[in-house]
Amino acid sequence: MRRRIYNTETRVLDNIAINEDYFKLKVRVEKKVFEKAQPGQFAQIQCSQEIEVRKNRKFEDHSELANYIRLNIDKLNESQLILRRPICIHNAYKEKDGRKVTHIFEFLIRKKRKGTELLSKLKHGDNLNILAPLGNPFGYKKSVDEGREVLIVAGGMGIAPIVFLCNKLIENGVRPTIFFGFEEDFSINYHSTMRKDLRALSKKVHIASNTLVEDVFVNGFVTDILVDHLKKLSRKKLDAIDIFSCGPTPMLKVVAAIAEQYDVNCEMSLEERMACGFGACMGCVCKTKNNDDEKYKRVCVEGPVFNSKEIIFATQS
Amino acid sequence: MPHKVSLSVNLKGLTLKNPLISASGTFGFAEDFQRINTFKNEDIGAITLKSISLKPRMGNPPPRIVETPSGMLNSIGLENPGVALFKEKHVVKLKKYDTVFFGNIVGSTIDEYAKVAREFNDIDAVSALEVNISCPNVKEGGIAFGTDPKQSYKVISGVRKNTDKLIIAKLTPNVTDIVKIAEACIDAGADMVSLINTVNAMAIDINTRRPVLFNNKGGLSGPSIKPIAIYLVNCVYNYIKENKLDIPIIGMGGILTYEDALEFMIAGASAVSIGTGSFYDPFIYKRLSKKMTEYLRSKNIYDINEIVGSVEMNKH
């Protein structure tokens, strides 16, 4: 059964600049969208000059807003960004104020070019259209049901979907061990926004970085500390491990090789340029294998989370 | 009482409830948009399915997509399961939807086009075959046929001999004179023409100094190509009108708003296709139907067909 997708209007509650490059966007979503979202899934965020059209207008409810959008969508500037930006759900949680419950998605975003630049300028009260939730989530439910040991391996911005994943694991009584690698430019991000959270959400956070952090850290790659951990474990313990990983492709490639070497179950979230985000255009594929059968699968539907055994990483750099 | 406005168009005996068509390759096999809450395939006048070849095609390696100013490049490379698997797995689902379906066929040889066309004969859900002689993203076939009038003629007449369904020839803008290609397709038995396919284009990463797309080049779509498409639709329309031919044009290229769709129809298109715009707003079909109705009502036009080809050229 394919999951249902919502084309939904969200309201910006907060947009926090972490530093010049990173920001955290907090939006209110409808309950039904919130309840469908699973860790590893993403949203296709509309980011065009339409954002300007919607700025700072107050709407009573979603239908009033939807109506307004329908009436004004044709005022779009002719030169604009057409494609949405696929951004993973960084966190999803409820805020309670008396009897009022607000359903929240958080997106951790790096400013790259015009689209993410526009998103970084959104302010409290602005409206934002998203398609969500999209994609195949991490298979964490199996880890919970079978009482398996969870290892998280993340690199840099690859931490983005992990916070939501850890929250869901904790909710279900599983405390993961986190291996997190990042370079110097990311360290402020780690210190200011997630150090405390990650510690609270895990058994232990192992850091690999080329920059000094307060935690005990290894000056090297996250994959090195993962190997150090795995090589101490018995076959029986390795068989009971699920690795969930997200990060830059070179890192994922090494993680996949390690998982194969130690014969450990491993799922990883991939990134690819997307157009539609829900399977229609075939734009965002990765090469996969099933025995000898090689084929492209859509990162937006069959992914972004794949079993590492399936993925054929490109040899070309 | 506001008067009743009709958006219904007739394409060679085939009635569409509105003139909005989903463009091939942007709507899969009509299964994906349907997953979006409240989306209805039935809101679309006709759905053009993704290109089908005789054998499965793997498509090009990624990256296949890059956004460019007011548009995007793609080089999917005609990934499809092949006609046999398409018939086995996807055709049965089409019957669920009360709308019109167009197949889209492609081949590496003239013979392959004919064979795929024949395979569609027992698919009742498909009313017309769009013949893709204009895909810019594969080595052989596709655009190689669509840039040469003689080759275009051969492909279309081969398909004509093998199908009783309506034939739509899909034309490329990557030629000096699109009218010559249209003429060849019409002579060979095409019932309609659709234009334009994507425009040859490239984007380069200035840091790596490599093209962004794996395939190096791709096809440009989106609002950036709209004025090119409007011009070419009008060129083909003038040819059809001068020769008193009964050949409807399906216009496409960068439609995002109802004004865009109307512009195509005024230029001479009997119906229009939408692709890239539906990635921005999946509900574009419903939105444009409503807006076009409002426009017609405000101009006291009862029937949308009245505006087709209604452009008046400036006289000098």
Q: Is A274 on the interface with B (CB under 8 A)?
A: yes
Given this structure, which CATH class describes domain A5-134?
Answer: mainly beta
Q: Is B69 on the interface with A (CB under 8 A)?
A: yes
Q: For residue A92, is pLDDT > 60?
A: yes
- Alpha carbon dihedral A220, A225, A228, A234, in 10-degree steps, equals -170
Q: Is A3 on the interface with B (CB under 8 A)?
A: yes
Confidence of residue B138 (pLDDT cuts 50, 70, 90): low
Interface test with A, best of B31, B51, B65 (most A CBs within 10 A): B65
Q: For residue B69, is pLDDT > 60?
A: yes
Q: Report the SS3 class of residue A186.
A: helix
Kindly determine whether residue A283 and residue B37, on different chains, have CB atoms separated by under 8 Å: no
Give me the helices (H) in chain B, please: 83-85, 91-94, 110-119, 143-146, 149-160, 178-187, 226-242, 258-267, 277-280, 284-298
Q: What pLDDT, on a 0 to 100 scale, did the predictor assign at position A80? A: 73
Q: Tokens 């104020």 appear where?
A: A97
- A96 with B313: CB under 8 angstroms? no
Q: What pLDDT, on a 0 to 100 scale, did the predictor assign at position B134? A: 83
Q: What pLDDT, on a 0 to 100 scale, did the predictor assign at position A184? A: 77
Q: Is A48 on the interface with B (CB under 8 A)?
A: yes
**What are the chain A neighbours of B280 within 8 Å (beta carbons)?**
46, 48, 82-84
- C-alpha distances out from residue B51 to B23, B33, B156, Å: 10, 17, 16
Q: Measured between alpha carbons, how far apart are the two ends of chain B, in Å?
A: 43
Q: Is the preceding peptide bond at B168 cis, omega within 30 degrees of 0? A: no
CATH number of A140-238: 3.40.50.80
Q: Nearest 5°: phi and psi at A205?
A: -110, 115
Write the residue in B27, B62, B70 that is nearest to A82 by C-beta. Answer: B70
Interface test with A, best of B44, B64, B257 (most A CBs within 10 A): B64
Lowest-pLDDT range of B103-117, B142-156, B297-311: B142-156
Say which DSSP state B6 is in. Answer: B
CA distance A142 to chain B (A): 25
Tokens of B134: 């204009």
Q: Is B82 on the interface with A (CB under 8 A)?
A: no
CA angle in degrees (0–180, nearest 5) for A75-A79-A85: 90
**What are the chain A neighbours of B206 within 8 Å (beta carbons)?**
none
Residues across chain A? 317
Give the integer Cα–Cα distance in Å for A155 and A241: 19
Confidence of residue B2 (pLDDT cuts 50, 70, 90): low
Confidence of residue A217 (pLDDT cuts 50, 70, 90): low
Q: For residue A317, is pLDDT > 50?
A: no
Give the integer Cα–Cα distance in Å for A178 and B264: 56
Give the integer Cα–Cα distance in Å for A159 and A259: 19
Q: What pLDDT, on a 0 to 100 scale, did the predictor assign at position A61? A: 57
The mean per-residue pLDDT over the stretch A274-294 comes to 93
Residues across chain B? 316
Residue B279: CB partners within 8 Å, gap ≥ 6? A82, A83, A84, A275, A276, A277, A280, A281, B26
Confidence of residue B143 (pLDDT cuts 50, 70, 90): confident
Over residues A189-199, the pLDDT tens digits come to 777 777 888 88
The mean per-residue pLDDT over the stretch B62-79 comes to 94
CA distance A214 to chain B (A): 35
Interface test with B, best of A276, A284, A302 (most B CBs within 10 A): A276
- A13 with A28: CB under 8 angstroms? yes
The mean per-residue pLDDT over the stretch A52-62 comes to 53
User: Which residues face A217 on adjacent strands?
Assistant: A207
Q: Is A86 on the interface with B (CB under 8 A)?
A: no
CA distance A78 to chain B (A): 7
From the number of C-beta atoms within 10 Å of its C-beta (0-12, 13-18, 19+), residue B160 rates as middle
Residues of chain A with CATH 3.40.50.80: 140-238
Percent of chain A with pLDDT over 70: 87
Q: Is B218 on the interface with A (CB under 8 A)?
A: no
Give the integer Cα–Cα distance in Å for A114 and A51: 13
User: For the whole model, what pTM was predicted?
Assistant: 0.91
Kindly determine whether residue B61 and residue A78, on different chains, have CB atoms separated by under 8 Å: no
The mean per-residue pLDDT over the stretch A86-109 comes to 95
Say which DSSP state B43 is in. Answer: G
- A277 with B34: CB under 8 angstroms? no
Residues of chain A with CATH 2.40.30.10: 5-134
Confidence of residue B247 (pLDDT cuts 50, 70, 90): very high
Residue with the bigger pLDDT between B158 and A19: it is B158
Give the integer Cα–Cα distance in Å for A29 and B237: 48
Q: Tokens 């004179």 appear where?
A: B177
Q: What pLDDT, on a 0 to 100 scale, did the predictor assign at position A79? A: 45
Average pLDDT value for chain B: 95
Q: What pLDDT, on a 0 to 100 scale, did the predictor assign at position B171? A: 96
Lowest-pLDDT range of A303-317, B35-49, B100-114, B132-146: B132-146
Q: Tokens 């893709």 appear where?
A: B132
- B154 with B162: CB under 8 angstroms? no
Give the integer Cα–Cα distance in Å for A274 and A84: 8
Give the integer Cα–Cα distance in Å for B185 and B202: 29
Give the integer Cα–Cα distance in Å for A7 and A9: 7
Task: Write out the catalytic residue numbers of B.
Answer: 135
CATH number of B9-59+77-200+222-307: 3.20.20.70
Q: For residue B1, is pLDDT > 60?
A: no
A243, containing H or E segment: strand A241-246
Lowest-pLDDT range of A19-33, A42-56, A238-252, B149-163: A42-56
Q: Nearest 5°: phi and psi at A121?
A: -90, -5
Q: What pLDDT, on a 0 to 100 scale, did the predictor assign at position A77? A: 43
Lowest-pLDDT range of A71-80, B80-89, B298-307: A71-80
- A158 with A178: CB under 8 angstroms? no
Q: Report the SS3 class of residue B118.
A: helix
Q: Is A317 on the interface with B (CB under 8 A)?
A: no
Q: Is the preceding peptide bond at A176 cis, omega within 30 degrees of 0? A: no
The mean per-residue pLDDT over the stretch B59-75 comes to 94
Q: What pLDDT, on a 0 to 100 scale, did the predictor assign at position A118? A: 86
Q: For residue A213, is pLDDT > 90?
A: no
Kindly determine whether residue B282 and residue A282, on different chains, have CB atoms separated by under 8 Å: no
Confidence of residue B204 (pLDDT cuts 50, 70, 90): very high
Q: What is the ipTM of this complex?
A: 0.91
Average pLDDT value for chain A: 87
Amino acid at A199: R
Q: What pLDDT, on a 0 to 100 scale, did the predictor assign at position A19? A: 82
Give the integer Cα–Cα distance in Å for A309 and A262: 12
Over residues B208-233, the pLDDT tens digits come to 999 999 999 999 999 999 999 999 99
